[in-house]
Chain A
Amino acid sequence: MGDYRLSMKGMTKKYGPVTVVEDVDFNVKPGEVHALVGENGAGKSTLLNMLSGVIKATKGQIYIDGNEVEISSPLAARELGIAMIHQELQNVPELSVFQNMFLGRPITKIGTFVDKKYEIQRAKEILKQLDDTIDPTVKIKDLKVSQQQIVEIARALLDNAKVIAMDEPTSSLTPREFENLSVLIRNLAKSGVSVIYVSHKMDEIFTVCDRATILRDGHFIACVDMKDECEDSIVTKMVGRKIEKVSHHSYCTNECVLEVKNLSRGNVVKNASFKVHKGEVLGISGLVGAGRTELFRLIAGLDKPTSGSILVNGKNLPLYSVKQSIAHGIGLVPEDRKKDGILKQRAISVNIAMPDMKRYTKFGLIRRSFLKNISLDFMKELNLRPLNVDRTIGTLSGGNQQKVIIGRWLASGTQIFLFDEPTRGIDVGAKSEIYQVIEDLAKQGKVVLVISSEMTEIMRVSDRVLVMREGEIVANLEHDDINEDNLAKYAIGQNKQVA
């Protein structure tokens, strides 16, 4: 036990009769990068929350450098040298970098006045080790997300953190930014800091991590050396069953359903033109900020285009009207489920009924049992478990919430599905189910558009791929041209495909 920087023994967390984490051991050596992996709901967040003092463990001991410690609050965790870097960065955008770093613990002169000079100096020293392009006096909001993340790491170092836990740190980073981050993490480890790395992305874990602890359903499954493992072996342990790799079927026809003509919105979406056919799955690739989500929002009627037109089955779609878009059979499955997708406090059935309330209404009153039956049918089709449509959607896992959102559009008779990062924040097991759903939709002759930043995902689901860069569609890739090289080349590079 003395060998470990951090050792968690027999960690258990119960909420009333429900056990979310049971008897989990978690050991991290000094100077190692340790992955914590598992499907959503496996207990990763609960374990980290117990470590960072956000929630109290029901049972279990925590040792730091061999000494038993009690972590009763986030403050206590910080004092013990444990730092958390959350997926959603916790900073104050309007304050400068150094002010954010010293937030809550300012250095003062005569006990009253903030010693800015010293703080800036100290911030500079720490940032130099990480990324010397960051000026400690600029405002956080003027930095890129990747830089903001570095500031959070700097804040942890300022606290002399021995253990830094990072929850999905790359969810909004580009591939190049991830490379920088991985170098930085390796350097941190070299200097003796232990890093806990939570991620769903296997390639990242293999790039940066030394060892991995795998959780499933709140239980400890294995602690493995990355050298001895491959992607499949880890996934199999996470899921507890083998995930079959399905080859891609195309159900694409020649019948054009959706046609976008010279659609623009300021500088965000520039002159987009393309056609999508019945049964086709069209992938839309590109970097974060390339205008992909914005393109979807124009089609869904959420934003107002500056010019251009959209035709659905040859008929002109009135723009900037969600109602019209829905009436023409367009449904958006948004990237940020919490913000744009779910009605957290309402039942699953209500979430399903929302776009098409009229259908469930007779004499002005909602027919709840009719609604319930319809919802049950669609949720059965999408394999929702447990199959209970009266539950509040906020209590479901990400994958199940996504199924409800898809069910919402299925029930509303949607013909054109717009999936924006359909598997973001969804665990490995549910991911392949979502892919299956996308394929089934194509099979039924629907039109599916999929935005994804994961190349493997794009390649797996798409019949054809558009690559966007800085608001423009720069490539239209088919068949064998859909490969990682091409996707990266057009997304990042200067070249443009000649049509």
Chain B
Amino acid sequence: MSDTKNELKQAFSLKFNIRDAGTLIGLIIIFIVFSLLSPVFFTAPNLINIMQQSAINAIVALGMTLVIISAGIDLSVGPVAALAAVVCASLMVAGVSVPLAVIAALLVGALYGLFNGVLIAYAGLQPFIVTLGSLSLCRAIALIYTGGNPIFGIPSSFRSFINGSVLGIPCPIIIAAVVAIVLYIILTKTPLGEYIFAVGGNEEAARVCGVPVAKTKIAVYVISGVLAAIAALILVGRLGAAEPTLGNLWEMNAIAAAAIGGASLMGGKGSVFGTILGAIILGSLTNGFTLLNIQSFYQLLATGIIIIVAMLVDRATRGK
């Protein structure tokens, strides 16, 4: 009885660390500023809008967070998403049932992640270089597969599912929330989560403890690939088309969200909650600047400043 109580207490305390509180404060400040500047900003429809716009990046960024905690990086998420999108779309157009096409897309993501992971874990190549290679390779496959043309004619059943909502909450937000919960459980409640932290924090010590280092690394890249595919499916559903060029710069936005949320590129540090907040911060910047009719150049400027400020705050508060 008290056991469960303790578990609950612990779950909560683990979730809310100081670094996440810092990110939350940052988000609140951004919300206050935009609310003062625009009356529309802090309204229910607009907030849902922000969440919906952040959902795709949040999903990709969550996979990236796992990779980053393991002291890796996945630069190939955009092209992997594109490949998953065009494969799924072409199957649906060819008359394959929607669930099967969706599974095929997830499989593409998983297989590509497996490819990255095996090269990194068994061939011992550096994650940055492997996934940089994959960035070109995978994009090329998507372009060659489609001849460079977008695929139209996505079945309406799929589109209406993605564009639908439950109790007023748009489907992409629900998908992102489910992904977040699953990853939160993986990261904080399962051995795999501890292995990811161990491998990223101190790979040698992890080896000495018999942690399956290679399998852990492969797992994070597979998860990252699958999440890129899920994000791609949302985009395909919303646009009603699959472009082989989709997902450009996704890796950068994902890394930004994870970093703002407190993930350390040195490995061993990061949280689901933080990354979600990071993605929402980036999403509300886009939204706020659009509402205020400010050139997107300034949005880029603000994003850059926020990333650097977040890192400075990180540095200043480390070890406290």
Residues of A within 8 A of B (CB): 300, 302, 322-323, 325-326, 332, 334, 339-346, 350, 353-355, 357-358, 361, 364-366, 368-369, 408
A346 in contact with B194 (CB, 8 Å): yes
* In the complex, the 3 A-B pairs of residues with the closest C-beta atoms, listed nearest first: A357-B191, A354-B209, A326-B210
Stretch at the interface among B49-57, B99-107, B196-204: B196-204
Complex contact B205–A341 (CB within 8 A): yes
State whether A343 touches B208 (Cβ < 8 A): no
Is the pair B207, A322 in contact by a Cβ cutoff of 8 Å? yes
Which residue from A341, A346, A355 sits with its C-beta under 8 Å from B210?
A355
Known contacts: A342-B202, A343-B202. The answer to whether A354 contacts B7 by CB under 8 A is: no
B6 and A354 contact, CB distance less than 8 A: no
> What's the A-B contact tally at a CB cutoff of 8 Å?
77
Main secondary structure of the interface of A (DSSP, over half): helix
Please list 13 pairs of residues, one from A and one from B, whose beta carbons are closer than 8 Å in the complex, sorted by A's number. Answer: A325-B210, A332-B208, A334-B205, A339-B202, A339-B204, A344-B202, A350-B194, A355-B209, A357-B194, A361-B190, A361-B191, A365-B190, A366-B194
A408 vs B211: C-alpha distance in the bound complex, in angstroms? 13
Smallest CB separation, B71 vs chain A (Å): 12
A366 to B7, CA, bound (A): 10
Q: Answer whether residue B189 sits at the interface, using C-beta atoms and an 8 A cutoff.
A: yes
For chain B, the count of residues having a C-beta within 8 Å of the partner chain is 25
* Chain A residue contacts of B3, Cβ below 8 A: 369
Instruction: Find chain B residues with CB under 8 A from A357 CB.
Output: 191, 194-195
What A residues does B247 contact at CB under 8 A? none
Per a CB cutoff under 8 Å, which of B190, B201, B208 touches A302?
A: B208
Contacts of A354 in B (CB 8 A): 194, 198, 206, 209-211
B264 to nearest A CB, angstroms?
9
Given A353-B194, A354-B198, residue A343 in contact with residue B206 (CB < 8 A): yes
CA distance A340 to B198 in the complex (A): 11
* A436–B268 CA distance with the chains assembled, in angstroms: 34
Residues of A within 8 A of B198 (CB): 343, 346, 354
Considering only CB atoms, which chain A residue lies closest to B14 in the complex? A368
State in angstroms the CA–CA spacing of A344 and B204 once bound together: 12
CA distance A1 to B207 in the complex (A): 54
A172 to chain B, nearest CB (A): 18
Interface 1/0s, chain B 53-86, versus A by CB < 8 A?
0000000000000000000000000000000000
Judge if B139 is at the interface, Cβ distance under 8 Å: no
Q: Does A323 lie within 8 Å of B204, measured CB to CB?
A: no
Which residues of B line the A interface, CB within 8 A? 3, 6-7, 10, 185, 189-191, 194-195, 197-198, 201-202, 204-212, 268-269
Query: With A and B bound together, what is the CA distance between A302 and B269 in angstroms?
Result: 26
Secondary structure of the B contact surface, majority rule:
helix
Q: Quick check: B210 and A364 within 8 Å, CB to CB?
A: no
Q: Which residues of A contact B212 (CB under 8 A)?
A: 323
Residues of A within 8 A of B208 (CB): 300, 302, 322, 332, 334, 340-341
Q: How far is the CB of A402 from chain B (nearest CB, A)?
A: 13
Docked-complex contact A366 and B189, CB < 8 angstroms: yes
Residue of A nearest to B3 (CB): A369
The closest CB in chain B to the CB of A297 belongs to B208
Instruction: Give chain B nearest CB distance to A136 CB in angstroms.
Output: 35
**A residues near B205, Cβ cutoff 8 Å:** 334, 339-343
Q: Check B185–A365 contact: CB distance below 8 A.
A: yes
* Contact partners of A339 in chain B: CB under 8 A: 202, 204-205
Inter-subunit contact A345/B209 (CB<8 Å): no
Which B residues lie within 8 Å of A346 (CB)? 194, 197-198, 201
Closest to B5 in A: A369
CA distance A361 to B190 in the complex (A): 8
Cα of A366 to Cα of B201 in the assembled complex, Å: 19
Give CA–CA (A323, B212) in the complex, Å: 8
Closest to A365 in B: B189
Please indicate which of the listed interface residues A302, A343, A346 has the most CB atoms of chain B within 10 Å of its own CB.
A343
Q: Which residues of A contact B206 (CB under 8 A)?
A: 343, 354
Q: Which residue of A lies closest to B185 (CB)?
A: A365
B191 touches A369 (CB 8 A): no
The residues of A that contact B191 with a CB separation of less than 8 Å are: 357-358, 361, 366
In the assembled complex, which residues on chain B have CB atoms less than 8 Å from the CB atom of A343? 197-198, 201-202, 205-206, 268
B232 to chain A, nearest CB (A): 28
Contact B201 A345 (CB under 8 A): yes
A338 to chain B, nearest CB (A): 8
Instruction: Judge whether A345 and B194 touch: CB under 8 Å.
Output: no
Residue of A nearest to B267 (CB): A345
Of A300, A341, A366, A408, which is in contact with the most chain B CB atoms at under 10 Å from its CB? A366
- Taken together as a complex, chains A and B put the C-alpha atoms of A346 and B188 apart, in Å, by 12
Q: What residue in chain B is nearest A408 (Cβ atoms)?
A: B209
Q: How far is the CA of A359 from the CA of B237 in the complex (A)?
A: 43
Contacts of B201 in A (CB 8 A): 343-346
* B13 nearest CB across to chain A (Å): 9
- Decide: A345 near B190, CB < 8 A? Known: A302-B208, A340-B204, A354-B209: no
For B210, list chain A residues within 8 Å (CB): 322-323, 325-326, 354-355
B7 touches A369 (CB 8 A): yes
With both chains docked as a complex, state the minimum distance between the C-beta of B201 and any C-beta of chain A, in angstroms. 5
Which residues of B are found within 8 Å of A365, using beta-carbon distances? 185, 189-190
Q: Which residues of A contact B195 (CB under 8 A)?
A: 357
Chain A CB within 10 Å, residue with most, of B10, B205, B268 = B205
